[in-house]
Amino acid sequence: MAIRVLKVHHANIRLQTQEQAADFYGRVLGLQRDPSMPFEQRRVIWWNTADGSQLHTPIGEAVNTMPSGQPIGDHFALAVEDVEEAKRTLQAEGIAFDEQVLPGRGLQLFVHDPAGNLVELQQAR
């Protein structure tokens, strides 16, 4: 059974400085910072869009990692109807993935598409 994707949840794009992010995404594009992710916690700024999706702008060279140790670099995230069903589908298809649970955010699955692009799947809220 195919995974049911409901919307793009967020895109993750690395910048070198907070000032770059604030100037372009805040001043030029007019996006509002999401206060639920303090910058100091993960060195990333979350920007909210009018439709509820987000743009995440991690700052600098440091990257977070998945449980396997793979870096979580630039990627996009899709909100799926049922993340547990998505996990079962990936397993049935023999597609390798990483999973992690973030407090307050739930289960996240990370999978590479055939071209090597990183895709995150998470439960729609």
CA distance 55 to 49: 8
For residue 102, give the nearest of 52, 18, 41 by alpha carbon: 41
**Which amino acid type is present at position 112?**
H
**pTM for this one?**
0.83
Block means of pLDDT (10 residues each) for the chain, length 125 residues? 93 92 94 90 90 92 79 90 96 95 89 91 90
- Give the pLDDT score at 79: 94
- Give the pLDDT score at 62: 64
- Give the pLDDT score at 86: 96
- Give the pLDDT score at 8: 94
Q: Are 80 and 72 in contact (CB under 8 A)?
A: no
For residue 121, give the nearest of 41, 90, 55 by alpha carbon: 90
CA distance 55 to 65: 19
Neighbours of 29 (CB within 10 A): 11
Domains belonging to the chain, first-starting first, are 5-123 (3.10.180.10)
- Give the pLDDT score at 6: 95
- Secondary structure letter of residue 22 according to DSSP: I
